[in-house]
């Protein structure tokens, strides 16, 4: 889940106008703290523009790939993406409207000098045809890997302006303790709720090696400052000292908060994996002007994915229409067309969770001989090795039971049966997803047929984050299914 990192010479100057435009977007006391790192990222932005023809050639399809793409597109129906009142769209759309997206790496990342140098090195190697022997890494796993981990836990606090700060902290503490329900929440504190829920969800799924600490602790040397600046963006990994993560207007969703926290914990985008061309096709002609360099990928020499296959359902993957010249043009076409609307999910996938636990060494806490023997691809929970963390659709201590809650176990027969279910809360907007799990069983050596009849029209958005159906037919049950 990581991206190209280039040989950036910081002596190269940045256009003063570009720098001023972006730095003016960053308000208040964090401006001076970010200025150096923004300068690095903007130098990279300028260098990538100079590499325009090289980047375009990297994205150029071979005749074989082009023929395959044409065949896939013939089988794909046009998706007319809906505009939803009160929804500002995907991260790249929000950041473009905010005027910061084009200048940030891949639309939402601020880079360190080391990271920027690595990106340019990869592009140089890719375009020159030569690859140096460098240490493999995935999230950020190189010589500085250990320094980028939050090994002492993530201390975070909300800073949306002194006038409202105490309210935000009180809101988050109430939420964390789960002792009270929210009453009326002011618009300014919505992103506090989103990030609090995202942090709590991560805390449940990751070991004590990665502690998520309550806000209001300012004595920690390394801490995460959640701000409401223009756009949704983050650093990648721990930089040391205080670092910012922005959830500005339009970013107040749990899925967006989880995505940016994924960056802060050390993850890059899924679609930048070195092997992405075996799973998706980037359609360069559909990418808006100035955004081609946002689709660079890594090399085999620098990308390590902990042995996990490509995850179309990762919360770190952008949508299939990301950075398109028009709303209905596809920029990333999955080789398996059934995953077209899966890209851009707002739900933390099982592989996201598994990979994060690997990245922080959490699985080492559970010795195989004393741990749960998990089924269906699950793994022992680092906080309780006798129980398992399970792929979606599975539950119980060993991932061999249907999850508790909505749903049922059904028995398939030789005659068609009808199942009708209603989920959701109408037009009421909620941050929590409601899941309903049905297990359909049949006799041994038989196949189950499922036909979806007259589904509601729903809303066409990348990632199906308003509603969706997942039918798990893959042999590997750890992957997001269809």
The catalytic site residues sit at: 260
Let me know: does 35 contact 23? Beta carbons within 8 Å.
yes
Q: Where are the beta strands (DSSP E) in 357-396?
A: 379-381, 384-389
Please tell me whether 359 is known to bind a ligand: no
> Residue 280 pairs with which residues in a beta bridge?
334
Nearest by Cα to 213 from 229, 226, 224: 224
Q: Are strands 384-389 and 379-381 parallel, antiparallel or unpaired?
A: antiparallel
Task: Find out whether 168 is annotated in a ligand binding site.
Answer: no
Tokens of 102: 């084009």
Question: From CA 25, how far away is CA 199, in angstroms rounded?
Answer: 26
Distance from C-alpha of 152 to C-alpha of 381, rounded to nearest angstrom: 20
Q: Which long-range contacts (C-beta less than 8 Å, at least 24 apart) are formed by 359-365?
A: 359/138, 359/139, 359/141, 359/149, 359/265, 359/266, 359/267, 359/306, 360/149, 360/206, 360/207, 360/209, 360/210, 360/265, 361/209, 362/206, 362/207, 362/209, 362/210, 365/207, 365/209
| Beta bridge pairs of residue 227 | 159, 246
- CA–CA dist 137, 148 (Å, integer): 12
- Cα dihedral value 235, 237, 238, 242, nearest 10: 20
φ, ψ (nearest 5 deg) of residue 213: -90, 155
Binding-site sequence positions for Zn(2+):
259, 263, 269
Binding-site sequence positions:
259, 263, 269
């Amino acid at each position: 889940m990581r991206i190209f990192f280039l040989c950036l010479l910081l002596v190269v100057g940045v256009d003063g106008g570009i720098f001023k435009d972006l730095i003016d977007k960053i308000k208040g006391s964090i401006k001076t703290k970010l200025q150096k790192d923004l300068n690095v990222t903007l130098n990279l932005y300028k260098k990538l523009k100079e590499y325009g023809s090289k980047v375009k050639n990297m994205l150029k399809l071979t005749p074989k790939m082009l023929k395959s793409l044409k065949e896939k597109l013939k089988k794909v129906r046009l998706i007319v993406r809906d505009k939803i009142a009160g929804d500002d769209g995907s991260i790249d759309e929000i950041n473009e409207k905010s005027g910061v997206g084009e200048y940030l790496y891949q639309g939402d990342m601020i880079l360190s000098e080391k990271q920027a140098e690595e990106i340019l090195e990869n592009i140089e190697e890719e375009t020159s045809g030569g690859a140096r022997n460098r240490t493999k890494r995935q999230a950020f796993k190189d010589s500085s890997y250990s320094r980028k981990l939050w090994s002492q836990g993530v201390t975070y606090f909300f800073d949306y302006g002194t006038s409202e700060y105490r309210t935000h902290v009180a809101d988050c503490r109430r939420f964390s303790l789960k002792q009270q329900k929210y009453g009326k929440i002011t618009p300014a504190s919505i992103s506090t709720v989103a990030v609090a829920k995202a942090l709590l969800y991560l805390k449940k799924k990751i070991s004590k090696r990665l502690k998520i600490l309550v806000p209001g602790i300012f004595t920690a040397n390394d801490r995460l400052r959640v701000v409401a600046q223009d756009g949704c963006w983050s650093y990648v990994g721990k930089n040391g000292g205080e670092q910012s993560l922005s959830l500005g207007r339009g970013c107040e969703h749990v899925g967006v908060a989880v995505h940016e926290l994924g960056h802060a914990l050390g993850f890059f985008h899924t679609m930048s994996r070195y092997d992405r061309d075996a799973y998706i096709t980037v359609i360069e002609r559909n990418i808006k002007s100035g955004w081609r360099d946002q689709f660079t990928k890594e090399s085999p020499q620098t990308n390590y994915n902990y042995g996990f296959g490509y995850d179309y359902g990762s919360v770190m993957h952008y949508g299939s229409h990301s950075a398109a010249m028009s709303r209905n043009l596809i920029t990333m076409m999955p080789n398996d067309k059934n995953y077209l609307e899966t890209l851009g999910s707002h739900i933390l996938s099982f592989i996201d969770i598994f990979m994060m636990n690997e990245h922080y060494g959490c699985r080492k806490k559970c010795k195989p001989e004393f741990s749960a023997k998990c089924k269906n691809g699950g793994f022992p929970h680092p906080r309780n090795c006798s129980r398992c963390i399970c792929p979606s659709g599975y539950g119980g201590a060993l991932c061999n039971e249907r999850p508790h809650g909505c749903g049922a176990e059904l028995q398939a027969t030789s005659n068609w049966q009808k199942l009708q279910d209603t989920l959701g809360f109408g037009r009421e907007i909620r941050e929590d997803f409601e899941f309903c799990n049905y297990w359909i069983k049949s006799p041994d050596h038989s196949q189950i047929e499922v036909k979806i009849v007259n589904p509601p029209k729903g809303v066409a958005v990348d990632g199906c984050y308003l509603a969706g159906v997942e039918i798990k037919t893959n042999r590997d049950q750890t992957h997001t299914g269809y």
